Amino acid sequence: MGIEIKESAVSDEAFEEMKGFVSDYLAASAEAEEDGGRMRWYPWHSAEYRFNHTLNVVDLATEIAEQEGADVDAVRVAALFHDIAKLEATQERHADEGARVAREYLDTRGNYPKSFVDQIAQSVRDHSYQGPLDDVSMETQCLIEADVLDKVGANGAVLMLLRMGYESRTHMDANEMIERVVERGHDAADRVQSDAAEGIAHQRLKRIVWFREWLEEEVPGMDPV
């Protein structure tokens, strides 16, 4: 008996079109912001950073979904749309607005089953959920875990070091900033639940702990945290 291969609900071409739409939407949202937008002087509040974060989450969520047996198509599409409204809505509203945009896109740009569209919208709406991951679908769990994991490790360290410049700090404050990334890594390891996400969390946490140790050794006068 041969292995049954599930046909993808979203073709590579359709997914590339979705990526273009999300990128353009974020850019337009940034352009529409008044007075530089909400904290636009921080790099993670730009359209460029937000789209890069989105692609990182897509990759992480897909990896987790593949290992955990979740619906990969649903996970990667939800990951692509999860922060689409981040630059035009408040933190409290961006998930609901993102779900609305995702549903409108999927309803008008393809012939996707209603159940698939509903699943995407629900995952986008729930991706900021702070409660137990047992309360959400496996697909939403993969998205939440990926979103958390992108903020730890080397990527999180780079963002914190960039923040130092925006806050006019010197390199002598680097240890304090990196310690925040370590704390975030521990929080992420406690938050995620799947075996795949736990493995990624511990790997990234290990890297940043090593970096902190090297920093303390190489920068004279820096107090260890």
What confidence score (pLDDT) does residue 90 get? 84
Are the CB atoms for 28 and 49 separated by under 8 Å?
A: no
Find, among 184, 187, 130, the residue nearest to 160 by Cα: 184
Classify burial at 59, counting beta carbons within 10 Å of its beta carbon; exposed 0-12, middle 13-18, buried 19 or more: middle
Flag whether pLDDT at 26 surpasses 90: yes
Residue 174 identity (one-letter amino acid): A
Mean pLDDT in the chain? 87
Instruction: Label residue 49 by pLDDT band (50, 70, 90).
Output: confident
Output the pLDDT for position 5.
Answer: 36
Question: What percent of the chain has pLDDT above 70?
Answer: 88
Is the pLDDT assigned to residue 145 strictly greater than 50? Answer: yes
- Choice between 128 and 5, residue whose per-residue pLDDT is larger: 128
* pLDDT above 80: residue 19: yes
Q: What secondary structure does DSSP assign to 16-37, as a single string?
A: HHHHHHHHHHHHHHHHH-GGG-
Mean pLDDT, residues 120-132: 95
The mean per-residue pLDDT over the stretch 197-223 comes to 86
Residue 137 one-letter amino acid: S
The two three-digit tokens of residue 181, written as one number: 């990334």
Q: Residue 66 pLDDT more than 90?
A: yes
Segment 145-150 mean pLDDT: 96
Which of 139-148, 152-161, 194-203 has the weakest average pLDDT? 152-161
Higher pLDDT, 139 or 213: 139
- Biggest CA-to-CA distance, the chain: 67
122 pLDDT more than 90: yes
Query: E strands along the chain, which residues?
Result: none
